[in-house]
A and B are shown apart, each in its own frame.
Chain A
């Protein structure tokens, strides 16, 4: 082992590094809390915790510079420090068993948080009384749906995910008689009627609503009370050449139609849908208030859960602190519309959700063991003193 490696190892195993990292994480948590006042919780999560460095643009400078270590860096170093300390310094003895348990729990907790950050999917489901749905909608991602609405009995939908739109790759699908080629994608863009902005540059779109609209790209917002309205310009290319260009946007609720080879297709940009292999029907939404007040006492949704094969068909009551868990998904009572007839359910998929529970038990047990050993020693000493 070379001496430089040894000193490096000493640094990484030292408890002083632990203290430094803990201080840094405390500061990070503190400044991120202050930053939330202006940035909102989403931006803070991305910029402070799911990053290696907190970046800022100094006044006048063109590029952002790192000003503080981010969550990934501090968390990663902490993991390294812990692992190194256990490998080289801390011996597995009864005396230290509590510490081992606590630290192992902490490692699981950090990994669990990393896993949740990477894998957890959250979406929303809005249901009015009597309505049945088989999908939830993303609150932050959109998709481009190309719907063959020729047959009035059913729709044939091809949904193009946001990734393909962002990368501007052309999409060919066996169900579509044309190629969809994204020309431009704006994560957030304002729409205006052309009549209100006569001086605007000509529209990139030649068909549909596009020519009458002006689209202005805007910075992405993370504020909880604001929404991004993504937009894209797409070209449809048929067998005989281009069919024209369209402007699609989440701000346009009405679909635009294209007629090709005797079939009618609708183009719409809508919240990204996640389909389930089962359906949910809202039977009744209830909202109780405390008597004589407007303070909500409870809100709950009675729903019916069904699979297409009929194997599962049961009623479920979803209410505060009591979600429906089924098929790897959890449905939580998140809110409701003011008319008290429409419920909003939060749908969460998190493969790593058991990890925090395990680490919670480990850390609790670890600390109990560790402090119990200390306490026992203290009491022994005291009785010895008293006897002396």
Chain B
């Protein structure tokens, strides 16, 4: 059993991961998968409609899962189809998250269990919301009250919703397809009427009225629509010259025909509203075939991205990390020999899944792994987990697994919350547009963060296990069977060991933490210096003492302090651990704190939720340091008599 267990656990984990790759049950008859993979250009990037649907849901309602009023859980693509083509239905969808009770009052509502509202439920308060937004607008984002923030957020959500409704459809039109077909037939007459008007003739022509009302509709779509759905006609030099549907339709008069891609989208809407799966699927097939010829590589990436979205590798990795952590803890407390190897292999699986996720993102974006706060969170966890795998491979006592599971889970949950602002694959602003420096400077510094966190987590394990259990003075030797551990009654750090060469868990953790701090010092120092060199290359000064630079420098200084304290004998084992835990606080500050400068300092009374969590993190770490400051005789691991 003991030999087979790692295989069984790994197999179960692999089956779980494989299950995420299966397509969701599609019993609607519509080719939702094909539709979700259609490419559009939004926010500077060609992405599948699936990503549009998911990120819109995240922004509107804070999660991807959407439940229709009839209790059915809709796939994101299904939800998007209703918003795009069936506004009458979508206006009853409760997808607007409103949490602030004062903001609810705008709509004459009181706080109840209901957190999400439909457009129809909010309709009556829209004028008042607009007025409140005008009041909040001149105030800087960071100075706004919670109410004003919620107003601004809700306003942005409504604009997003409207921009989706106007993207490929005209809300007031009963059937855009019929209208466009009519336009196609009468196009020569309408164009002639417009030309005549330009020449200053026959203003009373009824054709002119029709033409102008078409133009008004298309202008509205162009002004408010958000998605660039119409690909450039010929695959010319500019593959990114995509158009909004409104703009493509406006061009009908100049080119003498209605854009076929626009017609296809109108056809999709027609088929979706009238529940005609056959027609819908045929249009999807034709559109895809059409695009395949001109935009093969883009389509391939969109397909991969849709699979990536649906499989959510970081979510499965996160779930696996939790199990790894639990297995590691149980392994210390109950069955040391039994669960260590399964935990190691499961951690390797979780790590591989996260690696696959990162690799796919790198390929999709054409960028190094870290481009924004979200990806830095994912990468910090990845680095720490990689180091933990190495530690676990060397020491084989589930310490690496516990630390890796904990840090992997925590960083991915942070990333999950950071993703709520929308698409995490955003375009790089001009200043940051340098793959070379993003790779060298950003990656090294993020590796430094990951390593410092890992040292902190290991130190937390030392303190918690040391105070609460006798585990620290047990022999760490990998081969020792459970029960054969030798316990020596010693007070103090340097514990004697039974076999020559074998060491206690305390001593082993000390070496781990010391090694990881060295690693962290190297990377944070080099990363910071590289940042200076980038600054010198980019704007001519090596160091400018700006908050982000200072944050990085503080981390380097702290790691240097730990090392010098250790070398000068100012601290021993326990002190080293307390300093390493404070490294968590310092890293938290460098990583997130400097971005919040001005938030917590200027507007007391209000704390953004991220600021609250950072503060909670700091307090938790300081409590652990306080726990570590207990005199050794209070530590169960160091008490003279063993219970």
Contacts and interface: CB of A to CB of B under 8 A. Distances in A.
Interface in B296-327: none
Contacts of A348: 539-541
Interface string B501-541: 11000000001000100110110011001101110111111
A2 to B, nearest CB: 26
A371 interface: yes
A323 B244 CA distance: 37
A251 to B, nearest CB: 27
Interface in A99-141: 109, 112-113, 116, 120, 122
Nearest to A381: B501
A37 B602 contact: yes
Given A113-B543, A291-B241, A34 B601 contact: yes
A260 interface: no
Interface in B534-587: 534, 536-547, 550-551, 553-554, 557-558, 560-561, 564-565, 567-568, 570
Given A15-B567, A292-B228, A364-B526, A371 B519 contact: yes
B530 A360 contact: yes
B242 A292 contact: yes
B220 interface: no
Describe B's contact surface by its main secondary structure. Answer: helix
Contact of A290 (B44, B437, B551): B44
A34 to B, nearest CB: 7
Interface stretch (A17-25, A186-194, A270-278, A306-314): A17-25
A175 interface: no
Nearest to A371: B518
Interface string A261-292: 00000000000000000000000000000111
A16 B570 CA distance: 8
Contacts of A323: 537-538, 540
Contacts of A332: 538-540
A295 interface: yes
B594 interface: yes
Contacts of B244: 292
Given A291-B44, A371-B522, A37 B557 contact: no
B216 interface: no
Nearest to B511: A378
B360 interface: no
A295 B410 CA distance: 32
A388 interface: yes
A33 B551 contact: yes
Interface residues of B, number: 65
A278 to B, nearest CB: 18
A70 to B, nearest CB: 13
Contacts of B44: 290-293, 295, 297
Interface residues of A, number: 62
B223 interface: no
Contacts of A291: 41, 44, 228, 240-242
Interface string A350-384: 10010011011001100110010011001000101
B522 A320 contact: no
Contact of A26 (B499, B526, B538, B558): B558
Contacts of A172: none
A113 B534 CA distance: 16
Nearest to B241: A291
Interface string B600-633: 0110000000000000000000000000000000
Interface stretch (A41-49, A162-170, A205-213): A41-49
A109 B394 CA distance: 37
Given A33-B551, A378-B515, A353 B594 contact: no
Contacts of A382: 394
A320 B434 contact: yes
Contacts of A364: 522, 525-526, 529
A385 B507 CA distance: 14
B427 interface: yes
Given A292-B41, A363-B529, A122 B565 contact: no
Nearest to A367: B522
A236 interface: no
Most chain A beta-carbon contacts within 10 A, residue among B228, B540, B560: B540
Given A120-B541, A357-B533, 12 more contacts: A16-B568, A22-B564, A292-B43, A293-B44, A295-B429, A297-B44, A298-B430, A332-B539, A350-B540, A356-B536, A374-B515, A384-B501
5 contacts: A32-B545, A33-B551, A296-B430, A321-B434, A367-B522
What are the 10 closest A-B residue pairs judged by CB atoms, nearest first? A290-B44, A348-B540, A15-B568, A385-B501, A360-B529, A26-B557, A388-B501, A296-B430, A356-B542, A33-B550
